Amino acid sequence: MKTLLLSFILISAVSFPQTKEEKDQIRRSKIELILKMQDLRTVHDGKLVSFLSDDDELVREKATYAFASIQDTAVLHLLVRNLRDQSGAVQAAAAFAIGQTGTMLSPKGKIDLETQLIWKELGKTSVDERLIEELGKFGTEEALNQLMIRYGTLYPRVFVNGLTMSVARFAIRNIYNSDAIKYLITFIKPGTPVNWRTVYALMRISSIPESHKEILNEIHNIVPLYKSGDPIVRMNFATLLGRLKDEKYCLDPLQRMANYDRDWRVRVNAIRAISNFDLKNNEDAVDILKRAFHDENMHIALTALSAFANTNLKEEDGNKIVQEIFEWLRKIVGNPDKAYRWQYQGQASITYAKLVKKNAIDILRKNLSAQRQLLPDIVEALAQTGSVEVADDLLKFSDHKDPLTAAAALEGLQYLCKQQVNEKELIENSYNKIISGLESREIAVVSTAATILRDSIFLRKESVAQLLKALNRLRIPQDTDAILEIIKTLGSLKDEKVLKSLRRMLQVPEQTIAKVAAVALKSITGKDHSKDVQLHMQPMYVDYDYKYLDSIRKHPIVKIETIRGDIRIELNVDAAPFTVLSFVRLVEKGFFRGTVFHRIVPNFVIQGGDPEGTGWGGPGYSIRSEFSPLTFETGSVGMASSGKDTEGSQFFITQSPQPHLDGRYTIFGKVISRMDIVNTLQSDDRVLDVKSD
């Protein structure tokens, strides 16, 4: 009926003069259709493609952005054409969509596209800066070379933010060059404020070991950054120094930041970085970690506990401070007076086990009747001892009724077997338990078991029957995560017996599953099966209530009531309309009431929205990804996923800028008040309710 109405309106638009109301209605109908086709991933009938050249520039812009989520390489030539659109907004949409879609190309396709953009399009658009950044998402090493030659040596400087972030995005993909390092260093001058993006790009380059010598040649220029007035600069600088691991230049500023910085996020990054160094003969650095264990900020304390495990320090050959730390670790692991929260006890247990190995077994076993939240950490700690003595404990807990404990036991068996590769009986018993995990009713356990079976130590064709049995039992969309892991493992096994089942997966009404099945089939047959995925399939869950969307647009604020205080979030209907629609529907049902924040990574994200509290739960349906040019800043609210188009109810909030998430996760809101509450939340903290505000 809506299609007929749109056709009538379009005919009327051609035949008769239009009032403003009629024009608005035509625009509205077109945009609603664009959103629907984007959500359905529908391009085969040509309607969405036709909107790329519509007379209405807002329609062209919306249609162009739609392809950033669809990522169909067949329309790249039209997206490139829209780089020369008369509307700057359409050009910006085209640049973003090209960056998103270019990642899907073959190596040759990427070279052809980058060549066209660099030599034929750059310099002819109003969005060159955006296009330069987008090239960083998919371009080859040659593209980076050409960008640095063309723009890295220009004076006065042009497109600084775009080129800087492009360099960062290349580095995320392990691509860098010397000119990029020199370019970034030129922006670091004594007494001059430094853009955090510059330091972020250097930090990303420092993840590539080959770059270390070149950065260290310039270290004298960048060390003063630890005094920067911008905490985002300082936290990225701390990570950079930790990756360089040059004690002469890097350790002193790190100790200063870890000790005295006024921003807890900087201290977290500095503490992590310090643990990368050899601290055997450095009492000052060890003392910093020791004092951080007792910090009133729980993020700092837990980070210090975790980081200490990386030092490989031994009590017997350590100084007095090291000995005091081990004594304190034993106290908190035992926790006889229940003086420490379970989060401390859990992390201390894992750290202690990593450092003292089998000597931790006795004290850990005393905690095997611990509370539900703590038990997975105790099980993980037992595995970290690396001793065959804990095998029976892990085998026992792999059948535990708590899915997180059972999953931790299976992962523990995997770790233990890799440490004890000659223990044939252990490996066989572990394999049988992992196979049994496929029969679990808990998706967390099934997914974990299926993933472990891809490990070379357990990769056996005799697993096929049980994997197929589990695959046939699982249902879409509630079991999507487990289905994806099983399909990937079947592909790794390369057994032709699974071909029929995988071909059946090509036809399921969830394109994410179908595409993974196509990849698995290719790994077995050597043939490209991507064309066998249906071009158009109606997803199992859709909701196109545009009237309701309009009502949300007028009041886009929600309040997350937590045990530590209330957080207010502004939803972005324009950037992610159907994500917002789903989220608000769940809010109205009271879906989030009583859920917990199940995942906390200090100075990264807090994550919640899982009704099971395991990280594997959801609302019983999946929604599609809605990628936008919005960037993950401090307080951005995004949708968690297991891959494109697998979003459900789990969401996360960033505690600092995280550019590596841009264009990979849906952003649907931002924190507008009480970010301080976000920064105090800890694992298992409860959501009292989420309400429209």
Q: What's the rounded Cα separation, in Å, for the pair 371 and 380?
A: 15
The DSSP code for 366 is T
Which pairs count as long-range contacts for 282-285, CB under 8 Å and 24+ apart, including other chains?
282/251, 283/319, 283/321, 284/255, 285/251, 285/255
DSSP-derived secondary structure for 157-217: --SHHHHHHHHHHHHHTT---HHHHHHHHTT--TTS---HHHHHHHHHHTTSGGGHHHHHT
Rg (CA), the chain: 27
147-181 residue pLDDT tens? 999 999 999 999 999 999 999 999 999 999 999 99
Judge contact between 518 and 527, C-beta under 8 A.
Answer: no
β-strands 636-639, 667-673 pairing: antiparallel
3-state secondary structure of 634: coil
pLDDT score at 2: 47
| Cβ–Cβ under 8 Å, residues 83 and 95 | yes
Report phi then psi at 625, rounded to 5.
-65, 145
Supply φ then ψ for residue 668, to 5 degrees.
-130, 10
Give, in order, the Cα–Cα distances in Å from 69 to each of 137, 437, 575.
15, 35, 11
Half-sphere exposure of 686 (CA within 13 A, CB side): 6
What's the pLDDT score for residue 8? 46
Q: What is the DSSP letter of 607?
A: E
Cβ-based burial of 447 (10 A; exposed 0-12, middle 13-18, buried ≥19): buried
pLDDT tens column, 37-61 = 999 988 777 899 999 999 999 999 9
Strand ranges for 227-341 from DSSP E: none
* Distance from chain centroid for Cα 37: 26
- pLDDT above 90 covers a percentage of the chain that reads 90
Output helix, strand, coil percentages for the chain, rounded to the nearest 5: 60, 5, 35
pLDDT at res. 535: 67
| Mean pLDDT per 10-residue section of the chain, whose length is 693 residues | 49 64 94 95 87 97 98 96 98 98 97 97 97 98 97 94 98 98 95 95 97 95 95 98 96 97 98 96 95 96 97 89 95 93 97 98 95 96 98 98 97 98 97 98 97 97 97 92 96 95 91 92 93 77 94 93 97 97 98 97 98 94 96 98 94 98 98 98 96 92
CA 38 – CA 41 distance, rounded (Å):
5
pLDDT, residue 419, reads 96
Nearest one of 182, 192, 184 to 166, comparing CA atoms: 184
